[in-house]
Each structure stands twice: as C-alpha cells, then as structure tokens.
Amino acid sequence: MAKIWDAYPPENTLGLVVSSLLSAVFLYAFSAFLSLLMIVLKSPKSASFVTAVPLMLSFLSYSSLWLNLKASAYISPFNCISALFYYYFSGNEPATGGYFTSGGKELMNVTLTAFSLIGWTIIMLILAIILLRKMRGVSIEEIRLV
C-alpha cells in the first residue's frame, strides 16, 4: 500500500518543516499566554474554557473557504498557518479566501504571511513574559474547587 508521501510529496519539505516549527512555537506561546492570564486573573474555574480557546480560534480560519478575507487574512495567525502549509505543500500561492465562491481570487504574499505569524509569535512571547512577572499564584483551596 502506497503512503501519502509517495503519491503527493510536498513541493518544499524544508519550508513545510520550518513553518510547522514556527506554528508550534506560536501555539505554545499562545497557550502559555492564556494559561498565565488565567493565573494572573485568579480564575482557575475558567481552566476548562481556556483550554478550548485555541481550538475555537483555529476553526475561524475555515471561514476563508467561503469568505474572501482580503487584507484581514494576514491578521489571523491561524489563517497564516494554514496559508503557509498550503504554500509549502502545494507550491501554489494561497488565496486570501473565497475558495468555494466564484470570481477572481486575490493571492496572499507568503513573505508577509510569514512575517505576520512571526510577529504574532513574538507578541505572544512578550505578553507571556510580562504575565510571568505579574504572576502571584493561586491558593490550593481555589484549585480544589475546580
């Protein structure tokens, strides 16, 4: 039985690996930011909701299948992750959205997309460091109530 890599190898394997690592660092920084925010705000009861926030936001990038996001496609880091994966796997420039709609498609600038994701990653890391300095901890009694 043939493997998927035999039938459809990525156009740029190194770019795919690098964008995967960049995406992993962003998701780690974003999750750390949310966790630290929960600790700084002293709301351990919201832990179950906060763990689902990255998943909920990542599904927003699927709206680009029906909507042409135009310049706002660069704002969402989850859309940038999808666009970078698409570019490095297929070798084609990703569209800003509206894949299932008729009409011309605006193409995303991959360099701008990568810089947007790098910018989001740096912002999340800086915010996590700021929250680390403000962190005071949560009492064990509050954690037991969760």
Assigned domain for 9 exists: no
pLDDT band at 7 (very low <50, low <70, confident <90, very high): confident
Tens of pLDDT, residues 29-66: 999 999 899 888 877 778 888 888 888 888 888 888 88
At 135, the pLDDT band (50, 70, 90 cuts) reads confident
Q: Is residue 87 part of a domain?
A: yes
With a CB cutoff of 8 Å and minimum separation 6, the contacts of 84 are 15, 19, 22, 23, 110, 113, 114, 117
6: in domain: no
Domain around 133: 20-144
Q: How many domains does the chain have?
A: 1
Residue 105 lies in a domain: yes
pLDDT for the residue numbered 145: 57
Specify whether the backbone of 9 is left (phi greater than 0), alpha (psi in -120 to 50) or beta: beta
- Written as six digits, the tokens of 56 are 């909920």
The answer as to whether 12 is a domain residue is: no
